[in-house]
Amino acid sequence: MDSAQLAAATLPVRRTGSRYDAAEVDAFLARCGEALRAGERGFRPALRVDEIVLAQFRNAPFFGTGYDADAVDNLLDEVSVRLRAYDPESAQEKAQEAELRAMLDDIKKRPRS
């Protein structure tokens, strides 16, 4: 998901069930859009992936409407995947993980004495 797709995304509104405060979600999505635009221009995003993953929102008022919580969570998952690609620390972690997996594969292939 890039910044244009995020800007075009629409979230379903619910009157009952699990729903988040729309104003709070909109403000956070604006920050996500800024972070994606920064990454697309080659700059380090001001928003970290863990901030997206750990984001929490107030529930919508009892008699009010709000965004469907599952839809918001799914959208943020997509944003975090794209943002992870722009995060140099994340890229470094992926490289280290690949190196460790290769080492483990080599150890598994060695004959036992």
At residue 102, the 3 state secondary structure works out as helix
Residue 65, C-beta contacts closer than 8 angstroms, at least 6 positions apart: 13, 14, 15, 19, 22
Tens of pLDDT, residue by residue over 62-86, are: 888 999 999 999 999 999 999 988 8
Give the pLDDT of residue 110: 81
Give the pLDDT of residue 81: 92
Distance CA 3, CA 9 (A): 10
**How sure is the predictor about 90, in pLDDT bands with cuts at 50, 70 and 90?**
low
Identify whether the C-beta of residue 18 lies closer than 8 Å to the C-beta of residue 72. no
What is the end-to-end Cα distance of the chain in Å, rounded? 50
45 CB-contact burial (10 Å; exposed 0-12 / middle 13-18 / buried 19+)? buried
